[in-house]
Amino acid sequence: MSSHKNASQSVIDNNKALLQSLPFDDTQDFEDADRGFIAALQPGIVHDSDGEVVWNNDTYSFLSGDSPDTVNPSLWRQSTLVAKQGLYEVVEGIYQVRGFDLSNVTFIEGNTGIIVIDPLISTETAAAALALYRQHRGEREVRAVIYTHSHIDHFGGVFGVASQEDVDAGRIEVIAPEGLVEEAVAENVFAGTAMGRRAGYMYGAALERGPQGAVGAGLGQTTSTGHAGLIVPTRDITTTGETHTVDGIEIEFQMAPGTEAPSEMHFYFPQFRALCMAENATHTLHNLLTLRGAVVRDPHVWSTYLTEAIATFSDRTDVAFASHHWPTWGQDRVNTFLSTQRDLYSYLHDQTLRLANQGHTGSEIAEMFALPPALEQAWNAHGYYGSVSHNVKAIYQRYLGWFDGNPARLWPHPPAEISQRYVEAMGGLDRVVELAQAAFDAGDLRWAATLLDHAIFTDESHQQARDLYADTLEQLGYGSENGTWRNFFLSGASELRGSNFGTPTKTDAPAIMAQLSATQLFDAIAVAVNGPKAWDLDLVMDVTITDTDTNYRVTLRNGVLVYLEQEAREDAAATIRLQKSRLLALVGGDTDSPGIDAAGDDSLSQLMSVLDPGDDNFNIVTP
């Protein structure tokens, strides 16, 4: 028997009100999402070599017709669009496969073969997309791969369309913005375990698909779970205005670093009058701070590069496409689309700082903030992936930090301790649940969630609090326009009703980890040191990476691991010689396999004894 509840009346009423306030009679996006359709994958399922399903778009087949009470109608509309899958012609010579992963893959037909743009997350989904393309466009060989930016959904499936052997032999060129490899492998190293666990919530990875579960993440439906890899670029793009001819196709590049990704670029195809906007202009308000966690992105820089793209390309562009969603055709419509996206990020930035300079805090600004009517009515400006609320708070955080200036909020108790005090002050757990039930019944779900959060962090086994908290989060999910908010709310409800589902979004990616530099690996070890356990250790080691014949002096004092590239010296208490791959294994805690040549004292074993692995099952919705 399903534990899901029906939508409450307050959620039903709010969702119905949206149907009257938004332009649902505007069907242009549906026309664009269907334009150029050639064929779909039947069935829409991709397996790995062991027969395991790594992608199943057919689970979203319920997305048709009118929105049910349990889904915000705006999100239902977006998910219906994003769930479309298959091969599409953008213009003659440019083709996209959409709906095979969180992102799109694009194929550009050159003189002798094809250029592949952004080969998805997984080897398996990328290979399936290439196979569908070849089935309908012929057995063209891959001549080049372009990564638009440094997130895994834009390079992880590269081994599904190219091989390292072909790249090494010069048969396939790999093109990327400068700094991509460093950013691609580093983003998830320092806080990777925490990001991964939270990503499970963000993408609704453990939720069943359906009107009372996962309906999509706004940017794409969810993430594939196959094998990810990375082939190091053979050509770095470094300068705006740089042009290259690849398999007879001229490409003009625009650098856009520090926007949606630290390493990112746009590029233009004069032959096709087509502009690729990477992930900086999509049919949603994007994240300035992704809910899985990351460094806050800069909306001012983002809008500046969009302004430059408009000025540079829009008057000679007949179609703009991106690494997510569907293209926009027609010079006037492209200009309007790009201008709307630019205005969106610029308005968020400028108005947040205006209000901050009037003394309002991030949370206050998020409640006060209203987009201009023209942006509110533009479907591509809606917060299906990012939201006005959490983006405003991210901008405040970027400039002013977590502290809002009120001294009472400078040193609060942590969640469990403050919850116990609130619960006691309100008259005990049963009274808190009674107040929460009254708030729930009145449709004040945010207040009910706040009360029940305190109740659960006081006693997570209080069943009545737990059940009502799950019901409350579920209703918040049913009303959310933002796909990732819905997934967070429903994932929290799922764990309250069941058990911790861990990190189902983990991707098998040793080929990506192998691209970490030695210094990044030492940084990863430093982050894993349990400081208090290491307080009394004083270790001095010379570690030589034999692949590059590079030596590092590594010390551990006061719980701090420090490394410095220098010549080996006789005063080291231990000397260690190993290949970089073995250093990578040490980061993972593996000291047993051969390949480490160690001499001197037991410094290495002492170091390994104070490393704490991350916990990818840590609690989120419970203490």
Asked whether residue 390 is assigned to any structural domain, the reply reads no
User: Is 483 a residue whose pLDDT tops 60?
Assistant: yes
Closest by CA to 396, choosing from 357, 362, 360, is 362
Asked whether residue 274 is assigned to any structural domain, the reply reads yes
Residue 507's pLDDT band (cuts 50, 70, 90): low
* Overall average pLDDT of the 392-398 stretch: 98
Domain boundary among the residues 381, 396, 417 is at 381
Tally of structural domains, the chain: 2
Task: State the number of CA atoms in the 13 A half-sphere of 112 facing the CB.
Answer: 8
d(CA 543, CA 175): 34
* Overall average pLDDT of the 576-596 stretch: 81
Query: Range of 525's domain?
Result: 516-609
CB 71 within 8 A of CB 215: yes
- How far, rounded to the nearest angstrom, does the alpha carbon of residue 390 sit from its chain's CA centroid? 15
Asked whether residue 42 is assigned to any structural domain, the reply reads yes
d(CA 205, CA 487): 8
Q: What is the pLDDT of residue 585?
A: 83
Asked whether residue 505 is assigned to any structural domain, the reply reads no
Q: Is the peptide bond before 73 cis (omega within 30 degrees of 0)?
A: no
Q: Are residues 376 and 520 in the same domain?
A: no
Domain boundary among the residues 333, 363, 381 is at 381
CA dihedral 324, 328, 329, 333 (to 10 degrees): -160
d(CA 587, CA 582): 9
- To the nearest whole number, what is the mean pLDDT of the chain? 95
User: Is 604 a residue whose pLDDT tops 70?
Assistant: yes
486's tokens? 């819905």
Amino acid of residue 330? G
Q: What is the pLDDT of residue 596?
A: 84
User: Is 1 a residue whose pLDDT tops 60?
Assistant: no
CATH code of 570's domain: 3.30.1050.10
Asked whether residue 491 is assigned to any structural domain, the reply reads no
Residue 360 backbone dihedrals phi, psi, to 5 degrees: -80, 145
pLDDT in tens, 452-476: 999 999 999 999 999 999 999 999 9
Alpha-helical (H) ranges within 316-444 are 331-356, 362-368, 373-376, 388-400, 415-425, 429-441
% helix, strand, coil for the chain, step of 5:
40, 15, 40
CATH code of 281's domain: 3.60.15.30
pLDDT in tens, 241-284: 999 999 999 999 999 999 999 999 999 999 999 999 999 999 99
Query: Distance of CA 495 to CAs 200, 213, 456, Å?
Result: 12, 13, 13
d(CA 121, CA 128): 12
Q: What are the DSSP calls for 71-94, one per residue?
A: S-HHHHHHHHHHT--EEEEEETTE
Q: What is the pLDDT of residue 149?
A: 97
Q: Are residues 116 and 261 in the same domain?
A: yes
Domain boundary among the residues 362, 381, 400 is at 381
Asked whether residue 470 is assigned to any structural domain, the reply reads no
Asked whether residue 177 is assigned to any structural domain, the reply reads yes
User: Is 2 a residue whose pLDDT tops 60?
Assistant: no
- Cβ count near 425 (within 10 Å): 10
Asked whether residue 367 is assigned to any structural domain, the reply reads yes
CB 496 within 8 A of CB 473: yes
d(CA 505, CA 226): 10
